[in-house]
Amino acid sequence: MTMTHYMSLLADNQPWNLILFMAIPVIFAETITVTEFFILFTKNLKSPLRTFNRICSILAGFYFTGIFLYLFPTAFVPLTVNGEWHTWVDVVAVGFYLSGVLFLLPLALLDLGLIARKRSEEEKLKLHFLLVSGFLVVAHIAMIFGMINPEIVSGMAGMNH
C-alpha cells in the first residue's frame, strides 16, 4: 500500500514524528479552543485562563512556523520539483497541513499585539476564535486526506508533471 507523504512523515521515526508534527500542534490548538470557549462564555478577558490561552497561542504559532520552515524546503519543494507526489490526494494532505501556518502564526502575532492593534477586544476575540478554528479545519482536512491510500484514486497515478 502506498501512503501519502503526510502519513509517511507521521509513521517514520515512531513515536517522535507523530508527537512533533501532529500531537503537539493539535494539542495546542485543542487547548486554545477549549479555553477560548470558557473565555467567550464568561467574557472574562483578564483571567489567568486568558493568560494561559495567550501563552498557548504564541507558543503554537511559533512552533508551527518552525515546522513550516523545516518542511517546506525539505519536503514540499523537493516533492514538487522532482514530481514525487502520490496523486492529488498527497498534495491536498501536505498542502493543507502546511497551510496551518496561515492561521497559527497570525494567532501568535495577534496575542503579541503585533497585528489588529486598533480592533476592540471583542473583535480581537472573534479573530482569535476564527484563526484557531481555521487551523483545526485545515489540520483535519490534512488528516483525512493523509489517511487515504493514494493508489485508490483512479486516473491520477504518477503525477510527474
How far apart, in Å, are the Cα atoms of 99 and each of 31, 38, 134, 137, 155? Answer: 20, 27, 10, 10, 26
Query: Does 155 map to a domain?
Result: no
- Domain extent at residue 68: 5-148
| Calpha distance 88→9 (Å, rounded) | 17
Query: Does 46 map to a domain?
Result: yes
Task: Report the number of distinct structural domains present in the chain.
Answer: 1
Query: Does 58 map to a domain?
Result: yes
On whether the CB atoms of residues 141 and 94 are closer than 8 A, the answer is: no
What phi and psi, each to the nearest 5 degrees, are found at residue 44?
Answer: -95, 95
Q: Check residue 82 and report its DSSP letter.
A: T
Query: Does 159 map to a domain?
Result: no
| Calpha distance 86→78 (Å, rounded) | 13
Q: At what angle are helices 24-42 and 48-71 packed, to 10 degrees?
A: 150
pLDDT for residue 26: 95
pLDDT for residue 2: 83
pLDDT per residue rounded down to tens, the chain (161 residues):
689 999 999 999 999 999 999 999 999 999 999 999 999 899 898 999 999 999 999 999 999 999 999 999 999 999 999 999 999 999 999 999 999 999 999 999 999 999 999 999 989 999 999 999 999 999 999 999 999 998 888 554 455 54
Query: Does 114 map to a domain?
Result: yes
